[in-house]
Chains A and B, each alone.
Chain A
C-alpha cells in the first residue's frame, strides 16, 4: 500500500463542509487543539508507518 493521492472521498463538498462546520465557532487555539486530536485519530486508523511517513513528508511540503 502507498499513500492514496487520488480523490478518494465521496461527496467532497459535503466532507469539506463537515470539516469546516466543526470548527466554525472555535477560536484559533481550540481549532488547533482539535486538529491535533484529528491527526492522531486518523493516524491511528491508517496505522501503516510507511504511509504515515509519506503523509508527513507531503504535509511538510
Chain B
C-alpha cells in the first residue's frame, strides 16, 4: 500500500507547561490538525493571534480522503500563502462524463470563467494538502502544533475552557480563552460539550478505493449509473495526483463493510470497471453517508468548524471545502474579539452565517444523494427517465445530479450586511464573496484578491474615499487607478463600478456594503454593522 507517498512522522515534543506542571493560558487552542484545523492555525496566525494545535496523531491523513478542492478554498489558502504548491501538485479537470448502463448519456465542461487566479477545481490527495500546511505552520512562530496530544475532557469556565490532555508523558491540564473544535464528524469535543448533532442517515454504503494506474486515462470525471460492471449501483472514476485514481462503488445497504474492505473483494470490482488495466491498490474505505449539523456552532468557549459542525455526503466535495470556509469566516471575527475590537455578538454571527451555509450544503448534498440513491421505485423511475432523456435532449441534462460542485453560499440574510440602495448590475451583493480579477500592482501583474483580506478594505473606484474607523478597526482605502490598475477592466465589469463607486469589504473578502459615492457617515455605520455593533 502507498507506493506513491511516504507519510511524514512528526515528532512528539513535551510542552513546557506539561514539563513544569504550570498550566498556560492560550488565546486559542485548535483541536485537530486536519485541513480545517491547519487552516485555522494559519489564518489566526496571519491575523496575529498565537495558536496551539493539538492532534492525537503524529502524521497526515491516511488515504486520500478529501480529494476535490474548489476555487474558494484555494483562494483562502492563497491568502494564507499555501495555494501555489497545492495547485502545482494538484490535477485540474474540466470535463465530466455521465454514463447510464453501457452508454455515455452526456458530457459536461466546467468552462471556468477566465480572469481568476485559482482554478475552478483541483483534485489532490488530502495528505499532500496537510503536508504543505504543516510545513507552512512550522515556519510560523505564532503556531505551535502539538502531536500525540489527545483531548480527554473539557470544562467550561466563564471566560475560558480547561482542557485535560493526554500525551506519551501522561496527562496535563491547559487553558484556552477559546477552543476551535476541528476534530471531524466523530468529534469527541462535541460530545464533551453535550451538543446535539442531528440529521439524516442514508441507508446506503459506498466503497472508495485509490488505485495507481499506469494506463494513460484522460483527466476527466466519469460517473456511471447502473453500469454493466456494477449492476443497479453507481460508480465513479476521478484522477488525483501521481497517477492515483479515486474509484467509488455504491454498495447498497446490505453490504458488509468489513467484507467489502478486503483487498480480495476490491480487486475484482476494479478489474470489472477497468478491464485489462494494470493497477495497484493503495487505500480503501467503506462509508455510510449522513447529513447532520450541530445545533449551535458555539457552545460557551468552544467553537465548532468543519465536519465537527456539519457532515455532508461526499457528492459535490462539500466537506473540506465548506470547513475551510468556516475558518475564513471565523478567524477575523475571533481575532477582532481577542483584540477587544468587537464583542461576542460578532462570534455569534459566525453561527448565523455558517449554519446558513451548512444548511445550503446539506440541502445540495441530500438532493445529490437522493438522485444517486433513489428512495423508492417511483423516484428511481424518474431518475432513469432523466438519464434516458439526457442522451437525446439537452433539457434533461441539468436534472442529472451526480453531485453539484461546491460553490460558496452567499450570506444574503446576514445582519452584518448593509442592504443595497440603488440599482446594481453585478452579483457582488452584500454577503457575497469577492470575485477575483487580474490587476497590475506597482507595475507588476497580480491578482485582486491578494490585495485584500488583511483588514477591512474600502475599494474605491473614485478619488474621495478616506480610511474609516470604528473603535480599533480601520477600513483602509484601496484605490483603483492608484493602488492597483484594473488593466483588463474586469474589476469595473464584475463590480458594476462607476466613477465614485465604493465597496466595503470584510477581512474574509466578502462584500459588507457598497455605494455609488463615498459618504463617511454611511461607511462608518456599515463598518459598525459588519462588526456586529450595528
The secondary-structure label for the interface of chain A is: helix
Which residues of B have CB within 8 Å of A39? Answer: 382, 385
Contact with B along A16-48 (1 / 0, CB 8 A): 000000000000000011001101110010000
The distance from the CB of B384 to the nearest CB of chain A, in whole angstroms, is 7
Contact between A40 and B381 (Cβ–Cβ < 8 Å)? Answer: no
Closest A residue to B393 by CB, please name it: A41
Q: Is the CB of B386 within 8 A of A40?
A: yes
Cα–Cα distance between A32 and B384 once the two chains are bound (Å): 11
Residue B152 is within 8 A (CB to CB) of chain A in the complex: no
B384 x A40 contact (CB < 8 A): no
Complex contact A41–B389 (CB within 8 A) = yes
- Give the Cβ gap from A32 to chain B, nearest Cβ, in Å: 6
Interface size class of B (residues with CB under 8 A): 10 to 19
Q: How far is the CA of A39 from the CA of B399 in the complex (A)?
A: 13
Q: How far is the CB of B338 from chain A (nearest CB, A)?
A: 46
Chain A proximity of B394: nearest CB distance (Å): 10
Beta-carbon contact of A33 and B395 below 8 Å: no
Closest to B394 in A: A44
B386: chain A residues at CB < 8 Å are: 40
A33 adjacent to B384 (CB under 8 Å): yes
Given contact pairs A39-B385, A40-B399, a sample of 17 additional A-B residue pairs in the complex whose CB atoms are under 8 Å apart: A32-B381, A33-B381, A33-B384, A33-B385, A33-B388, A36-B381, A36-B384, A37-B385, A37-B388, A37-B389, A40-B386, A40-B396, A41-B389, A41-B393, A41-B395, A44-B395, A44-B396
Shortest beta-carbon distance, A42 to chain B, in Å? Answer: 11
Question: In the docked arrangement, what's the CA distance between A40 and B296, Å?
Answer: 40
A positions within 8 Å CB-CB of B: 32-33, 36-37, 39-41, 44
| 14 A-B residue pairings within 8 Å (CB atoms) | A32-B381, A33-B384, A33-B385, A33-B388, A36-B381, A36-B382, A36-B384, A37-B389, A39-B382, A39-B385, A40-B389, A41-B389, A41-B393, A41-B395
* Assembly CA distance A36 to B395 (angstroms): 15
**Interface 0/1 of B369-405, CB less than 8 Å to A:** 0000000000001101110110001011001000000
Mask of B55-93 contacts with A, CB within 8 angstroms, 1/0? 000000000000000000000000000000000000000
> Which chain B residue has the least Cβ–Cβ distance from A34?
B385
Closest CB of chain A to B408's CB: distance in Å? 24
Give the chain B neighbours of A41 by CB distance below 8 A: 389, 393, 395
Shortest distance between the CB of B273 and any CB in chain A (Å) = 27
CA distance A39 to B134 in the complex (A): 53
Closest residue to A37 on the B side, CB-wise? B385
Residues from chain B with a CB closer than 8 A to the CB of A44 are 395-396
**Docked complex Cα distance between A13 and B388 (Å):** 30
Whole-angstrom CA separation of A44 from B384 in the bound complex: 16
A45's nearest neighbour on chain B, judged by CB, is B395
Q: A33: which B residues are within 8 A, CB to CB? A: 381, 384-385, 388
Residue of A nearest to B388 (CB): A37
